[in-house]
Amino acid sequence: MKFTRICTLFAVAALMCTPLGSTPTYAQENLETQTKVDKFYNLYKKEEQVLCGYQPGRAEQARAAIPQNWEIIEDYTDGNFFVCKRPAEMKRESIANLVSTPSIRYVEPNAIISLDPPDAEKQAAQSKQGAHHPYHKPYQCKPNDPKMDQLWGMKNIHAPQAWCCVQNSNVIVAVIDTGVDYKHEDLAKNIWTNTGEIPGDGIDNDNNGFIDDVHGYDFVNNDGDPMDDNDHGTHVAGTIGAVGNNGKGVVGVNWCAQIMAVKFLNKNGSGFLSDAIKAIAYARENGAWVLNNSWGGGGYYQAMADEITRVEKAHLLFVAAAGNWGLNTDRFRHFPSSYLHPNIISVASINRWDRLSYFSNYGKYSVDIAAPGSSILSTLPGNRYGRLSGTSMATPHVAGAAALLWCHPDYRCSSWKVIKKKLMCNARPLDSLKGKCLTEGTLDISFLCPPCHCSCHQHYHWNCHKHYHCHDYDCYHQNHGHHLCR
C-alpha cells in the first residue's frame, strides 16, 4: 500500500513537470463552452426567441453557424445580431457548436421587458377645458395651468424658479415607453414632428428606414403610429413636457420640450428586448438628446449594453428608472439602470415628505439621484389627467430637467457629462437619502435661476443662495472611475 502511494506521488509529480502543450487549452475551451451551454439551458430554455450577436463584419459566418432548424426572423445590422426563433427541442451539440463559433459574440434570450410592478396609485380625472393661449408666451414663474397647485413635484424640485430664466427649447426628449397620446390637448404642441416625412403617404420620405414616422415609431406593431394604449407613456410625457401657461391641465418640467414618442411596450406594458434596442436606436439616430427609460426587467444583456454604448458615443443622456421593488441595487441589480455606462442617470423616488418612497429601489453606488415619484399628477390618453406612482414618474422629472438645463444659455453647448454633473452636484441633500444614492439628495433645479435674476422669486421661500459642492462626487469618480459599483 505504501509503495503504491509513493508511485502515485511520483506519477503526479512527473505529470506536473510535463511541458504544457495544447491539451490544457483545449480542455479550458471545452469547459468554457460547457458553461455557456449550461447557462443557455438553465436560463433561456423557456424563451422562444433568441438573439445571436455576431462580430462586426462577420454576419455571414455567424449565419452559417446558426442551426438549420432555427428560423432567422431578422438580421438587425445596426446592432450586429440575429433575432432567431428556435425549436422547442434543442440538441446540446448544436448549442455547443454555436456558442463556440468565433464569429458569435453572445447568445441571449429575446427577453420580455416590462414596466415595473403596477403603479401604486392611479386616479384618473377628466380634463377641464380652458381658454386657448398663444403658444410659447413669455415665461412667468407661476404658469396659469389650472392644476399647477396640485403638482407637488414641480415645487419640490423648485421648477417654478428655474422657469424664470430658461425660455424656449428645441431639445428633443425621447419617451421610450408604451407610446404617447400625441393628440392630447396638453401635449400636442410639444410633440416632436419629423419634418422630413409626409404624413400618410406610405413612403419613407426621409430615407431613415421608417415609413410615416411623423411623431415617432411603434415597434410593437411596426408602423408609424406610436399612440399610447396603456396610459404609462403619456403620463411620463406630461411630466417631461406638458405645455406650460396654456390655461389647460398641468405643466411639464420643460414647457417647450419636443417629445419624441417611441413605443416598444404593448398595451399590457411588456415588449421584447430586441424591440427595446431598436426603440433606443431610433431615438439615437433621429435627433433625441435625452432618452427617458421608465421601464426595466430581466438581467444583463450584452445586446442592450452594446446599444447603450452607442448612445454614449452619440453624446446622449440615458435617464433610467431605478425600479419599484424596494431593493438595494448595489446587491440586486436592476436593468437598464444598473448598466455601467457613465451616461446613465439612475433615478429613485421620493414622496412629498422628502422620504424615499416605500416602493423605490435604492443603492449608495448604483442609484444616482432621487426625484418626486409618489402620487404624481400628469397627462393620460384622451385628454385626461391622473395620478401614478413609481420610479417611472421620478425619472421624467430628471429627464425634463436635463432638457431644461440644455436650453439654458450657459449650457446650450455643453456635453452630457456637464449636464449630468450639474444635476447631480446641485442635488438637495436629504437625511432620508443618506446611503441610499450616490448624491444622497433629490433633484433641485433652482440653481438655474438665482434670486438676483428672478423677478418673481419673492413669491416663493427657497434658500436659493445655498451652493451644493460636488467635491465628493468628483473625488469618487477620479479615484474609482464612473459607477464601478453598478
Question: Which helix or strand (DSSP H or E) is residue 230 part of?
Answer: none
Strand partners for 72: 84
State the virtual CA torsion across 221, 302, 318, 250 in degrees, nearest 10. Answer: 40
Helices marked H in 49-100 — which ranges? 59-65, 92-99
Catalytic pick among 392, 397, 446, 483: 392
Catalytic pick among 177, 218, 275, 444: 177
Q: What is the DSSP string of 3-58?
A: HHHHHHHHHHHHHHHSPP-SHHHHHHHHHHHHHHHHHHHHHHTT-SEEEEEE-TT-
201 catalytic per annotation: no
One-letter identity of residue 61: Q
Distance separating alpha carbons of residues 429 and 422, to the nearest angstrom: 14
Q: Which of 358, 351, 342, 485 minimizes the C-alpha distance to 424?
A: 342
Catalytic pick among 158, 184, 232, 408: 232
392 catalytic per annotation: yes
Q: How far is CA 61 from CA 67, 103, 106, in A?
A: 12, 6, 14
Q: Where are the beta strands (DSSP E) in 194-255?
A: 216-218
Output b/e per residue, 8-43; b: 16+ Cβ within 10 A. eeeeeeeeeeeeeeeeeeeeeeeeebeebbeebeee
Distance separating alpha carbons of residues 421 and 337, to the nearest angstrom: 17
Question: Which helix or strand (DSSP H or E) is residue 309 part of?
Answer: helix 302-313
Distance separating alpha carbons of residues 255 and 426, to the nearest angstrom: 21
232 catalytic per annotation: yes
Annotated active-site positions, please?
177, 232, 392
